[in-house]
């Protein structure tokens, strides 16, 4: 990744090491994951050991150390969504995207993930695509949404 972007993020927090967590989050927001070179860079810049950053990154579920896709599809597998067929949606997306749940497609376009309840149970089953919440989803609607993203990528 472009390390000047990391520099800019660190600058936003006045290079303050107590903002480490926020800096890590911002870097991840840009790249969808925490690249190793960014971790090393943050370590040098803030004078925080790599061991500590890695420790934090592996403690919080929300950090990812492996590259993730440009588009993130998250299927809610909480109880409410589960009983409304979330499992089938996961399997549907696995076929649609040709990737196992938890994985990323080879072309780094899509990552398929599961989450356990996002607190919008009334809308279940729920799928979050690139931060956008889709309530009461059906396989047909998912197919459409994925197709849309694919054509948009293809057209770019």
- Interface with another protein (CB under 8 A): 36, 39, 49-55, 58-59, 65
Pair 111, 68: CB distance under 8 Å: yes
Pair 105, 99: CB distance under 8 Å: yes
For the CB of residue 93, give the shortest distance to ligand FES in the complex, in Å: 15
Q: Which of residues 15-74 bind ligand FES (CB under 6 A)?
A: none
For the CB of residue 11, give the shortest distance to ligand FES in the complex, in Å: 37
- The CA-based angle 68-72-77, given to 5 degrees, is 115
80 part of the interface to ligand FES, by CB under 6 A: yes
Nearer to another protein, 40 or 138 (CB): 40
DSSP state of 78: S
* Residue 35 contact among another protein, ligand FES, none, beta carbon within 5 to 8 Å by kind: none
> β-pairing, 71-76 with 110-115?
parallel
78 part of the interface to ligand FES, by CB under 6 A: yes
| Cis before 77 (ω within 30) | no
Using CA atoms, how far apart are residues 132 and 79, in angstroms rounded to an integer?
21
Q: Where are the beta strands (DSSP E) in 15-155?
A: 71-76, 110-115, 127-129, 132-134
Nearer to ligand FES, 119 or 154 (CB): 119
For the CB of residue 48, give the shortest distance to another protein in the complex, in Å: 9
For the CB of residue 56, give the shortest distance to another protein in the complex, in Å: 9
Q: Which of residues 82-121 bind ligand FES (CB under 6 A)?
A: 117-121
């Amino acid at each position: 990744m472009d390390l000047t972007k990391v520099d800019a993020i660190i600058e936003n927090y006045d290079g303050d090491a107590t903002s480490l967590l926020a800096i890590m989050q911002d870097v991840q927001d840009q790249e969808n994951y925490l690249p190793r070179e960014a971790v090393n860079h943050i370590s040098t810049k803030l004078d925080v050991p790599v061991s500590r950053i890695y420790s934090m990154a592996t403690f919080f579920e929300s950090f990812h150390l492996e590259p993730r896709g440009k588009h993130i599809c998250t299927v809610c597998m909480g109880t409410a969504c589960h009983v409304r067929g979330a499992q089938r949606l996961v399997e549907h997306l696995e076929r649609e995207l040709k990737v196992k749940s938890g994985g990323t497609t080879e072309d780094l376009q899509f990552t398929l993930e599961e989450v356990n309840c996002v607190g919008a149970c009334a809308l279940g089953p729920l799928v979050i695509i690139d931060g956008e919440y889709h309530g009461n989803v059906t396989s047909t609607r998912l197919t459409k949404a994925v197709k849309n993203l694919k054509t948009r990528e293809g057209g770019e």
